[in-house]
Amino acid sequence: MVATESNGRRAAKTNRKKWIFGALVVAVLGAIALDTKVVAIGGDEDLRQQAFNPDRYGTEQFPRIRDNVSERAPDAIQLATELAEDKKAAMAKYGTPTSIGAVMPVTLTGAVGEGKSGIFHVNVDGLPEGTTVRVQTGPAINGTDLRDFPGDIAFGQFKNQIEFQNAGAGINRAMAAEVLEGLDRDSLPGKTVTLTGAFNLINPKNWLITPVSFEVQK
């Protein structure tokens, strides 16, 4: 009889321990649930969305950069003439100052000449003798002329220099996807093209244009 009562007390004690442990587990899980925030994939609070995405940034920025360049771009002959007459005045009139020179907009029509690595010479009738005009057609688009042209995309808006550089690359890729997708580069030499774009004016007689529009005449 004594042994039976002792066994009963041990069983009851064991059951109480199990109940207490189970209650603690439930309480801990409840606290974790209350302290856990559910974040939808792709939502505003998804860290992947908060991290800087240069391609998303480029897609957002390129349309207004394209429109800005197009609205401000003088004809190539007009620009070359004004540069020859008064370089500083022409830069102030059309360009956006940078740490090196100014980014200038321009629009032109010309015959495509020889090319290498996606960069082609464009022969424009009426330009001053010795003026070299080239255009980037990709696939790789280099430089930050499109990023710098608006004048309101500044280093201080980004976490570091890498993000600032990536912003320019993202804009270039957005441009290439919209403007140069499907371009037959091999057939360009000899064709007449009309283009609008921007270039960094370091040498007034050497223009390397990054386009915002590019049309091959049939």
Over residues 172-216, the pLDDT tens digits come to: 999 999 999 999 999 999 999 999 999 999 999 999 999 999 999
Report pLDDT for 197.
Answer: 98
- The full set of domains in the chain, from first to last, is 55-216 (2.40.50.420)
Q: How far is CA 73 from the centre of its chain?
A: 22
Between 24 and 201, the more confident residue is 201
Model confidence pLDDT, tens digit, residues 118-153:
999 999 999 999 999 999 999 999 999 999 999 999
Question: CA–CA separation, 126 vs 128, rounded Å?
Answer: 6
Between 61 and 46, the more confident residue is 61
Report pLDDT for 99.
Answer: 87
DSSP letter for 140, please.
Answer: S
Report pLDDT for 218.
Answer: 78
Report pLDDT for 47.
Answer: 47
CA distances from 1 to 6, 13, 14, 24 (A): 9, 19, 20, 35
CA distances from 154 to 69, 76, 112, 166, 169 (A): 18, 28, 34, 13, 14
Q: Which two tokens stand for residue 121?
A: 């010479």
Report pLDDT for 48.
Answer: 47
Question: CA–CA separation, 210 vs 76, rounded Å?
Answer: 14
